[in-house]
Amino acid sequence: MTKNRRYEAHYDRLNDQRSAAAAERPAPVTLPPAAWEPLELDWSHPAVPVWAWLQWATGPAEKLPCLAHAWNQRVVLVSWEPGGLPRTVFVWRQAVTRRASRGHSTMSGGE
């Protein structure tokens, strides 16, 4: 089977545009270690699908679909991939809810 080079070039350009747009936007505000230390983080493998409110230094907070990788009583480490570029930040625990929750609305310590 052969590739259609016209479509391949078109989608390559679209991906380049999306990556450039994501790179132009500054990273959201992340919490410093002082906000969650000395508490250890509970790590999840695989990551848990969540909604997280991310705060931007240059604009209002946004609720985005993310993955929760680790958490404790105060914070959650979330990641997402805007335009295919992976980003990771710490957010307050109250800013995170499960996407496909079945009886759990926030991250709990036993997970």
- pLDDT tens digits, one per residue of 48-70: 999 999 998 888 999 999 999 99
pLDDT on residue 10:
79
Q: Is the pTM of this model over 0.75?
A: no
Which residues are CB-contacts of 38 (< 8 A; sequence separation ≥ 6)? none
Q: What is the mean pLDDT of the chain?
A: 82
Which residues are CB-contacts of 68 (< 8 A; sequence separation ≥ 6)? 44, 47, 48, 49, 50, 52, 76, 77, 78, 96, 107
The terminus-to-terminus CA distance of the chain in angstroms comes to: 47
Check whether 104 has a pLDDT greater than 80. Answer: no
- pLDDT tens digits, one per residue of 66-88: 999 999 999 999 999 887 788 99
